[in-house]
Amino acid sequence: MSKERAKVPIASGWAWKLANTNSSKRIPPDPRLGRWTPASQFPSVIQLELLHTGQITDPNVGENERGSQWVAECDWEYRCSFPTPSEASQYPTTEIIFEGLDTFATVTLNGKEILKSDNMYLPARIDAKNLLKDSSCDGENEIVILFESALKKGTELEKRFGVKQSLMRDTRRMHMRKAQASDHNVEDWGPNIVTCGPYLPIYIECYASRIENIHVITSSLEVLDDAEYAAQIRVKVQISGPAAIFTAKHSLEVEIIDESGQHVAHFSGADLLLNIAKPKLWWPSGQGAQHLYTAKVTLKDNSTILDSSSTRFGIRIITLIQRPLDNEPGKTFMFNVNGRNIFIQGGDWIPADNLLPSLTRERYFNWIRLAKRANMNMIRVWGGGIYETEDFLDACDELGLLVWHDYAFACGDFPVHQDFLDSIRKEVEVQTLRLRGRACLALICGGNEDFMLADTDGEVFEGTFLRKKIYDHEDVVGPFKDTDFPQREIYLDIIPNAAKRLCPDVQYWPNSPWGGAEEANDPTIGDIHQWDVWHGKGRSHQDYGKLSGRFVSEFGMHGFPDMRTVYEFAPRPEDRHPQSRAIDCHNKGHGAETRIARYLAENFRYSQKLEDFVYVSQLMQSEAYGYSLRDWKRKFGGKGKESCAGLIIWQFNDVYPCTSWSFADYYLRPKPAYYTIRRTFAKVTIGIERTPRSLWVDDDRPRDTDIPSFTLFAHNTTMEVKKYELVLTAYDLLTGTYIPYPVETQPVSLLPNQNTELGVVENPDSLTEESLIVLCAKLVDNSTSRDGKVEARHVNWPEPFRYLQWHKDTKVNVEVLDAENGSEWENVVRLTASHPVKGCLLYIDYDDGEDAIWEDNMLDLMPAESINVNVRGLGGRSIKNRFLNDWELGNDKI
């Protein structure tokens, strides 16, 4: 009699060895390499095994990564012996499933070749019914997987199909369906660690028939009143095996269950519409709760269960709104969830480790919790990495992070021969089916910067030349074959046709950036990547307000990681200075060493002591992100005025310990910029625009006065009008005194879900050309307590900071208090400064374990004003603090 589908892991008993040196001259003389060695874990990549045996050193430390690059030049083998499961004789179908092989793999089972794979994104399901040994008498089976060097295979493919254009790094990557983040690294933030191995699970399935896919979509959502909705969902179930052709004896039972375990509906059938009264909706973080339902499906043959499967889903509708603006060219690029327009506050996501099997479910959830804590509501999965895991997607579903997911194409001039396109078609099909039902999935995108690469001409980096492709930007139909840009077939034909067929409810976008009639990176339509700060024209970060687009999906500023991380990747005392080889090794940005110095010199006086240099780079990154976030959120007005409807910071995370654009480092340690982002992504924020912005004198463009004027604005992401008292305080660094302003308090109302302009501040008559005004603006809610609660605060300074002199007696007093009973925090730290302080960073000594968890940090302090910061994890340890130019004051801060 048929029984329920059986799944048997092939996860133990694996071993590995060197298969072929490919005449590499860099291989160490170690006889162990040619002997079978038990695998330390499964799934696996070969670098993890070599690390475990000590045959390579930790690539996260010093320059070790360069000493292990010989690994990628070789071929490697894995093998495993396993018994034939008893279930194999009880079912008509027995298959071996390879979820992912990295990348050029030849698989034999009991000496017979059963699979050749050259696409790490493409799982394989192999019929093994007649290939496995008889479990009763023939002994164990043996799987052997040969992984050929990706460098070797890339060279062969490049010779066959030609050299393709590449923005950076190895051109061979174009010919391989391999995570480009690990293939000589397509981007400028990670090491050259070219992995290979069985990086995803391998297992046996035995079944009569199986449930292949369950897809639940919200087909309609009706607003009944402010608090209630009516929804209709569609449930589609796909079956494989004999029961895929239904007979009278087969049945499919579907049960819908809510989070509390309550049964919402029960019905039979493979494709049904179901009305849900008063559904609990799924909302992005910051907009509401993340309610998830479960659809449980059971496949029966009469009364015998053949298979059962379940999937979680959210009831929600996500759309992309592109409509004309009132007084600006182009159209909006605005996400709407359940009828509500949402300003996107996001971060770009890259693979969280070079060695993918080392990523755990816990680590994924910790990353997404960190994102939620930063008040983010979207993650963009960048196209040069992987199709993210179920653990990552579970975390985003549960914690409310919308996902923009690129298909795995990045910065590419990919081949378009038939074998390559056929592989892509299969890849797109299987990955779209896997991703499509997620509550968090907001948009699927054809790739990253592929159109932008086609639009680029000239020498982009020293010795790297690109030729601009000539094509019609408005042609989205084709045919594209035999044109100057034939790769459009991938983004405008293959992927969108699959997406339309498999997930018509999910927005598809051809590339990032994309949309312009004359160039892909058009600020008036679609999304843009804004790299005129840091890259490109090298604009000042204070100019971000002038560099907006309808939706900015990449922009960034470098900053060093947490000092603990720096000490870990540069453990030798001789490497602990800003210009050491180890420090440079852990910064992969083209020309980053000169760019950091240039932006620091433009804005700050800085020291060459490593700890000071690191701190100032972190402050610079913090300031850059503060400017961009405030100025672009300011552009999200009411209907017809949403000239910027979202921003995604490049980048949220790191692939290994390094200096990069990330605002949390490889070890999940928040950089100081994290806190500035968290404040500026809060539900209510306030900003100040100073004119003139800089004290720097441009002799080509003289100005009439240096007396600053201040314009205030505030952003309210909630759906309610918010009423506050606006409180202003001003301090003159020239005189060392507070300056009274004509209007220092006034009531203000903030419109819901948009920016509100609060007007120009009236200056006192006492200001002079030499005045150096530090202006602090606060929004105070007096309805919650007698003293009022500060909902938002911002301090605006005269710039550049390199011009400012700090009082020699500047100190910050730190007082540790107990938190209130019932608080999630353990202590409150009260900060009081004797004089104005820029960028006060709180931390636990680097030799005293991991840092505490701070609610806020990297704070600007006004004299005699007390700021409270919640914290947990002090454990009785003393708190240190530092601030801008403290090294000039003789204070022992480090």
Note the pLDDT tens digit of each residue in 686-743.
999 999 999 888 888 888 888 999 999 999 999 999 999 999 999 999 999 999 999 9
Please give the full DSSP string across 219-260, using - where no structure is assigned: EEEEE-SSS-EEEEEEEEEEEESGGGS--TTEEEEEEEE-TT
Q: Over the stretch 521-578, which tens digit does the pLDDT of each residue have? A: 999 999 999 999 999 899 999 999 999 999 999 999 999 999 999 999 999 999 999 9
Identity at 347, one-letter amino acid code: G
* Class of the domain covering 6-206: mainly beta
Judge whether residue 391 has pLDDT over 50: yes
The residue-averaged pLDDT of 867-892 equals 91
Please give the angle made by the CA atoms of 564, 565 and 570, to the nearest 5 degrees. Answer: 100
Strands of the sheet containing 552-554, edge to edge, are 507-509, 441-445, 402-406, 378-381, 344-349, 646-649, 552-554, 528-529
Identity at 872, one-letter amino acid code: R
Per-residue confidence band for 224, with pLDDT thresholds at 50, 70 and 90: confident
Range list for CATH 2.60.40.10 in the chain: 209-313, 684-804, 807-894
Read off the tokens for 495: 């992927």
| The predicted structure's pLDDT at residue 893 | 44
**Any idea which fold 684-804 has?**
Immunoglobulin-like (2.60.40)
The residue-averaged pLDDT of 451-480 equals 90
Print the SS3 string covering 424-473. Answer: HHHHHHHHHHHHCCCCCEEEEECCECHHHHHCCCEEEECCEEECCCCCCC
Angle formed by the axes of helices 495-502 and 418-435, nearest 10°: 30
Please, what is the average pLDDT of the chain? 94
Per-residue confidence band for 225, with pLDDT thresholds at 50, 70 and 90: confident
Q: Over the stretch 435-446, which tens digit does the pLDDT of each residue have? A: 999 999 999 999
Which residues 6+ apart lie within 8 Å of 1 measured at CB? 304
| The predicted structure's pLDDT at residue 743 | 92
Read off the tokens for 116: 């050749």
Q: How far apart are CA 99 and CA 851, in angstroms?
A: 38
For the domain spanning 323-680, the CATH number is: 3.20.20.80
Per-residue confidence band for 822, with pLDDT thresholds at 50, 70 and 90: confident
Judge whether residue 171 has pLDDT over 90: no
| The predicted structure's pLDDT at residue 281 | 97
Q: Whose CA is closest to 324, among 628, 594, 639?
A: 639
CA distances from 489 to 118, 158, 163, 507, 708 (A): 21, 21, 19, 19, 54
Read off the tokens for 147: 């992984």
Judge whether residue 796 has pLDDT over 80: yes
Q: Over the stretch 752-775, which tens digit does the pLDDT of each residue have? A: 999 999 999 999 999 999 999 999
Range list for CATH 2.60.120.260 in the chain: 6-206
β-bridge mates for residue 334, sequence order: 321
Q: Tokens 């375990």, residue?
A: 261
Judge whether residue 888 has pLDDT over 80: yes
- CATH superfamily membership of 807-894: Immunoglobulins (2.60.40.10)
Judge whether residue 182 has pLDDT over 80: no
Judge whether residue 398 has pLDDT over 70: yes
Judge whether residue 613 has pLDDT over 60: yes
Judge whether residue 1 has pLDDT over 60: no
Judge whether residue 244 has pLDDT over 70: no
Read off the tokens for 42: 């499964």
Range list for CATH 3.20.20.80 in the chain: 323-680
Per-residue confidence band for 245, with pLDDT thresholds at 50, 70 and 90: low
The CATH architecture one would assign to domain 209-313 is Sandwich (2.60)
Read off the tokens for 10: 């092939």
| The predicted structure's pLDDT at residue 591 | 83
Task: Label the pairing between strands 93-98 and 202-207.
Answer: antiparallel
| The predicted structure's pLDDT at residue 169 | 75
Read off the tokens for 404: 């923009």
Instruction: Write out the catalytic residue numbers.
Output: 449
1 or 424, higher pLDDT: 424
| The predicted structure's pLDDT at residue 894 | 36
Long-range residue pairs from 814-822, CB within 8 A, at least 24 positions apart, any chain: 814/842, 814/879, 814/881, 816/874, 816/879, 819/870
Judge whether residue 585 has pLDDT over 50: yes
- Tell me the whole-structure pTM to 2 decimals: 0.95
Q: How far apart are CA 424 and CA 489, in angstroms?
A: 11
Read off the tokens for 872: 């947990």
The residue-averaged pLDDT of 803-814 equals 94
The residue-averaged pLDDT of 845-860 equals 95
